[in-house]
Structure 1
């Protein structure tokens, strides 16, 4: 990111009027969106169309758009071996008078809903063995591919320097934070972005090269409030999570839970502290 870029004013699309945006998307993509089923998040919108597809709309400030652009959803269309929506078309435009870009993508509508409405889960979902098999096949296929893109989890480009700085601030006892292997990652593998009971993986806007284990650690960390589910993720993705890179990525996730912004009401906090102790011990062996 270029630090000299103007910073866009923060807007919460859950509260802002969006009808003008929706009309522009409909005209550009030649679709009609179902207003009654519209999904509104802080910086994105999603909705069904009359032709049985899904449209995702996102607002992003210039300061969150790096040199590679932000067409991750479109760029992911070249990936293979992954259970994910097919990409059909997209449109992007600049917000007049503001350092802000809008983007809308029309995609295949997947048959199952998200496993959770938010990033984490508080109750164990009923996921068949076929779901876990498809998850493993998709993540393994993703890791075997190559891309010049860099992953941008939370819209921030992940780098060795960022990993070292983040871990050093929260876990100063870790002196070796060097990542050995970088692989393509989804970079936002939360329970809101995996569908079930039929597995598929949505929201590809931030995918790219990342430390091995980032995806597994994100899914695992967001399951810590349901110990049996977290254990299943750890079991299924053991090759990633038990590697040194995977342990560092697990701590990278946990740093956001147990670090300076920790709060007592967080359902992840108690299990996260326990897992932090385990991982620090393992890394010091």
Structure 2
């Protein structure tokens, strides 16, 4: 199936027809979807299969696929000591009418429900055991090695991107924006990509090396509408936030909240502004 949109434009799979795409993947994997379980997002569709697995299908523009490839979920299968769904296989094909690719990855089912949307407005009341497993998985991930480069929001994270994002949002900052430590990161860590009550981290499409603290800062930013939850993230990942790179990633995360597309009613705006002031002062005094 192809979708009739101008070349190079993104497709919103929440509104576009996807039945033929699901049919194609069923034939490729020789299984059937539970059509009542279909979850549609802007650039991905997922559903449960009749063999008790989950398939996530994504469409990505060619200019959003880096030279390292587009196989994050497959490559994450080699990561040890991390709570994540086991990868089963994939199928990839080109969109014949558009400059885009389709990819379907089959994984084991999640051990629980996703905690919520990417940005939470209520405290999920997570147990201490959940936080212990969360920390163990993030620490294990950062301790491993990879040649992959993280692609948050499908854009490779580089020193130039970090510097441009921070100084573009907060010009005049008299501090060094050079990253000291690059470590493996999930690169899309938010409350929609983790389960509870059993912890599991999924959607590994964009993982790779990133500045230390990217994941912690991203989750904190997703929690700012619930102050107690944001504070808990900072306590649990204190070592990341206390590091110089973690402070840079805090500014990087805040630049997305306070950027030109900021919504005036976003409850995260004021706490983000306050954190920017504190973090800039810390960096200037280092």
Counterpart CA distance in 2 for 1:159 and 1:7 is 27
- The 4+ residue runs of structure 1 with deviation greater than 4 A are none
Deviations 1:99-149 (A, max 9, x none): 110000110101211111x21110000211110000100000001100010
Aligned to 2:208: 208
TM-score by length of 1: 0.96
Aligned to 2:142: 143
Aligned to 1:34: 34
- Structure 1 residue 8, shift from structure 2 partner: 2.0
Q: 5+ unaligned residues in a row in structure 2: which ranges?
A: 1-5
Count of residue pairs brought into register by the alignment: 279
Tell me the secondary structure at the aligned position of residue 121 of structure 1.
Answer: coil
Aligned to 1:182: 182
Higher mean alpha-carbon deviation, 166-175 vs 99-108, is at 166-175
Deviations 1:60-108 (A, max 9, x none): 0001001011110001000000000000010000011221100001101
- Structure 1 residue 263, shift from structure 2 partner: 2.3
- Structure 1 residue 7, shift from structure 2 partner: 6.1
Q: 1:7 to 1:142 in 2, by over 3 A?
A: farther
Counterpart CA distance in 1 for 2:156 and 2:120 is 26
Aligned to 1:3: none
Counterpart CA distance in 2 for 1:201 and 1:157 is 21
- Structure 1 residue 174, shift from structure 2 partner: 4.1
- Structure 1 residue 199, shift from structure 2 partner: 0.2
Counterpart CA distance in 2 for 1:174 and 1:235 is 27
Question: Do 2:175 and 2:284's aligned partners in 1 also have CA atoms closer than 8 Å?
Answer: no
Calculate the aligned-residue CA RMSD, in Å.
1.1
Aligned to 1:17: 17
Question: Do 2:189 and 2:215's aligned partners in 1 also have CA atoms closer than 8 Å?
Answer: yes
Residues 231-270 of structure 1: matches in 2 within 5 Å?
Answer: 231-270=231-270
Counterpart CA distance in 2 for 1:8 and 1:32 is 31
Aligned to 1:219: 219
Counterpart CA distance in 1 for 2:8 and 2:87 is 28
Residues 1-285 of structure 1: matches in 2 within 5 Å?
Answer: 8-116=8-116, 118-172=117-171, 173-285=173-285
